[in-house]
Amino acid sequence: MRVPTKLDEWFDGWPELVCLDLDGTLIDSVPDLAQAVDYALMQAGANPAGEDRVRTWVGFGAAKLIEQAMQWADLPKALAENCYRDFLLYYRDHLTEKTTLYPNVVQLLKTFKRAGVPMALVTNKPSVFVQ
């Protein structure tokens, strides 16, 4: 299989290994994450934050996401455990309703597979949500 031009320039041929991040690289999971955050906030009596705001909070794990949402909503820290639980349970039940692959992801993965390039998935998402 011919090496794509950019890979030939960047790696002098096929890379020996490709490590890919999940959220924000392969998939856009923010719509589902935002719904789960909003659900947890509303269960605690706060207004929903909305997808645009939640998008600015993602990237540091679920616990930090809920911490930021609670700070934004001015919720007491005493509610943290309940908010986190509500978020996780809702997210588990609605994990991929609005999550989408970014363009060309399938083609990219197939290309690496056909070329025999080993791939690894790197994520801070709990494994129960990765399957």
Residue 38: active-site member: no
Pairing verdict, β 18-21 and 119-122? parallel
State the DSSP H helix or E strand holding residue 104, giving kind and residue range, or none if neither.
Answer: none
Of the candidates 12, 21, 32, 52, the residue annotated as catalytic is 21
Residue whose tokens read 């039940």: 93
Distances (CA, A) of 81 to 21, 70, 84, 95, 117: 27, 11, 5, 20, 42
What CA–CA distance (Å, rounded) separates 102 from 24? 8
Q: Collapsing DSSP states into helix, strand and coil, what is residue 127?
A: helix
> What are the residue numbers of the active site?
21
